[in-house]
Structure 1
């Protein structure tokens, strides 16, 4: 069968695709049912939290952190957001009518530049801003994915796969920002070949969540995209300067020591309620019995391995989508803190990987994609021991993407 590969990094041309990628019923039906179940949890969380699944307390508990931070800054109480205990007390008081029980520990750990992105949503009130942020960022992701789609997987199917997967449902339940992260990664790398300056500017915005931008300069250097590298640095610097001018430089003075402390000697509360409820390599290593120091070294090795895979991908002749897929999987692997909602990045990476293979696909390919789709339903690893091997999924995906010969076109499929 033909492989739609119109965006090869080095001047590839378009090929016709006779058969679209169609998942077998054995994968499609349970995938849709499980996705429906998680979205049903969203609809039942406010009236019946925890009755049909994990108890998420209420909708938008992570958005409470974002909204509480921007409101605190706008109301002249910026120092509050850098005191985890006081900030948690503030959230419990401000949202007592929303919460089914008090939050245990919800600190603000993001750079002040994130406040710039939250600023337009501040005047909308809590629930209005929560809904608006999910809709706007979801729309941005849809636009980025539509631009990256190909005949192998139509844009509508790609958008639906990303936005209705269980990870995206959990993102909506928590009020997290993975749609924005994914949109910036997919959109930024999609622009590199045609408009490197604009692509770099988009990628620089990822600094609002530092754990997802650490591989960006490595990818751009490996690809020789010096203009994009300059643009990404300029974008990040512009966000820093703008946030300092708007909110005051004191926020940056307070944030740098805080983030350094979280990296070097994090508090017990941050480890217990932050990292241990995620599914990073560090978290899974600790839950599998590794001492904390050894787990930190394993996380460092995973980050270095992720960086190497990005270098290999962006120095290769892989297409833009395949390079982006490697970056997405490597980013999840390298992140020192991630949650089940971040699996949306892996779902998109898996979709790009499937698009790189000639249809019809063998069952094992769909099975791997289904395992990635299913992963958030077995999270967090703290509660579901089987999820403690979750880091193997991005590793396997990266290996398959980089494996020699995976991306060779079947010359029989090329029409004259």
Structure 2
């Protein structure tokens, strides 16, 4: 027992050192650009803040009007006028459901720089709290902040880190606090692609309290949204969703390498729309079925949680590099899943080192090579989950909730 404790302490120390090296390298490369403003910090956040300004002016639905949103964003980032990329012809469109206006308007009450830093602080705090609740180790917390997805989310001011934290909290409260979990699922409607598999899990496993709570709270949130910001925001969102599907994400307006999905990889490789979307749907269906099978098996909850997080990314054709924070969360959940050190292809610790290494190396390769790396990351986590599932019936040592 004492020997195991010493080995674990040594492993935590080695992991912490590796993460500190990665964090140090990241800060060395990025911090100067953040300070002098050359890194376009908060570029994506500018669409949230501008949408909030429009809502405060009583015209929330105009946030879905691309030319008007463009003019608002150019006041914040005038250099976009000279950007060479076609995506910036309509910079950073606003695709979020109307419920997101509650957050956007609060942020828009503050000057843009202040709002950006408060938004970033809240995201990082939520991320740290959820990670600590899953695996309360300092080395694991360092790992959670060292993965490149956190850096990318911070720089542009995206919402993926907050949504990933919310999904992690949903999993943590799923069994012991089902009403809280259902309420959190309702909050996740601001990023609906993150919750697309949750209803399947709840129905397949009979978690009816969570399902009913979410089913009651979501319409209430939609009612409050309509009464507060106007019912025309829902029509604006519907048109934005159509635009996102037919003219932005799936047609090449957004560079293919930026789509980290199976669909993005296939389009990057030269496949046409029909074949790429058909193959993506096939992979998505297989991933959803695989995830449901795992949730029906007698395996550790940590393995089930990790399978949901990985499958969530495989199902969506839209996910970007900062969404791979879900894979970091899956890796941290897997740290709680017991696995024999003998009789396996790799030891538990070697496997986790490989997983962390893939997330870091592939994440930093992306902006240099300009290729989609998401499916490769997902495949690595799937292999790790498969190795855990070779030991059915093993229960996690961590009590969730």
- TM-score normalised by structure 1 residue count: 0.82
* Alignment match of 1:401 (pick from 361, 385, 388): 385
- Quote the Cα distance in structure 2 between the aligned partners of 1:274 and 1:317: 42
**Correspondence 1:43 to 2:27:** no
Q: Number of residue pairs matched?
A: 382
**Aligned residue for 2:193?**
211
After superposition, where does 1:69-88 map in structure 2 within 5 Å? 69-88=51-70
Unaligned stretches of 5+ residues in structure 2: 342-346, 396-401
Partner residue, 2:348: 361
Structure with greater helix share of residues: 2
Question: Which of the residues 230, 239, 253 maps onto 1:272?
Answer: 253
Distance 1:73 1:23 in 2: 50
Q: Per the alignment, in what secondary structure is the counterpart of residue 335 of structure 2?
A: helix
Quote the Cα distance in structure 1 between the aligned partners of 2:291 and 2:128. 24
- CA–CA separation in structure 1 for the residues paired with 2:70 and 2:251: 12
Root-mean-square deviation over aligned CA pairs:
3.0
Question: Relative contact order (alpha carbons < 8 A, sep ≥ 6): 1 or 2 greater?
Answer: 1
SS at match of 2:8: coil
Deviation for aligned residue 1:25: 8.9
CA contact (8 A) 2:130 2:168 kept: yes
Aligned to 1:131: 117
Cα 1:285–1:108 change in 2 (3 A) is same
**Which residue of the other structure, out of 195, 209, 225, is the alignment partner of 1:227?**
209
The 5-angstrom pairing of residues 4-403 of structure 1 reads: 19-20=7-8, 23=11, 31-46=19-34, 57-96=39-78, 102=83, 103-104=88-89, 105-149=91-135, 154-263=136-245, 265-267=246-248, 271-273=252-254, 276-358=257-339, 361=348, 363-380=350-367, 384=369, 387-388=371-372, 390-403=374-387
Compute the displacement of 1:270 (Å).
Answer: 6.8
SS state of the match for residue 289, structure 1?
coil
Aligned partner of 1:5 in structure 2 is: none
Deviations along 1:293-317, whole A, 9 cap, x unmatched?
2111222122212211221222122
Structure 1 segments unaligned to the other structure (5+ residues): 3-15, 51-56, 411-416
Cα distance in 1 for residues equivalent to 2:393 and 2:5: 15
CA distance in 2: counterparts of 1:43 and 1:304, whole angstroms: 41
**Deviation readout 1:382-413 (Å, 9 max, x if unpaired):** x626x445303213422431453246659xxx
Q: Are the structure 2 counterparts of residues 128 and 49 from structure 1 closer, same or farther at C-alpha, using a change threshold of 3 Å? A: closer
Q: Residue 399 of structure 2 aligns with which residue?
A: none
Q: Provide, for residues 183-220 of structure 1, a one-character-per-residue CA deviation record: whole Å limited to 9, x for no partner.
A: 11111111111111111111222110122111111121
Any conservation in 1 of the 2:262–2:317 contact (CA below 8 Å)?
Answer: yes
Q: Deviations over 1:47-71 (max 9, x none)?
A: 6677xxxxxx410001001111111
What CA deviation, in whole Å up to 9, does each residue of 1:67-101 have, x standing for no partner? 111111211333432222432232113443x8795
- Whether the 8 Å CA contact 2:13–2:139 is kept in 1: the answer is no
**Measured at CA, do residues 127 and 389 of structure 1 come closer, stay the same or move farther in structure 2, by a change above 3 Å?**
closer
Q: Is the 8 A contact 2:186 2:214 kept in 1?
A: yes
C-alpha distance in structure 2 between counterparts of 1:36 and 1:343, whole Å: 21
Tell me how far apart the structure 2 counterparts of residues 81 and 129 of structure 1 sit (CA, whole Å).
18
Counterpart in 1 of 2:398? none
In terms of mean alpha carbon deviation, does 35-44 or 124-133 score higher? Answer: 35-44
Indicate the larger mover: 40-49 or 340-349: 40-49
Following the alignment from structure 2 to structure 1, what is the Cα–Cα distance between the partners of residues 247 and 80? 27
User: 1:2-58: per-residue Cα shift (whole Å, max 9, x none)?
Assistant: 9xxxxxxxxxxxxx96743755999766654333333334312246677xxxxxx41
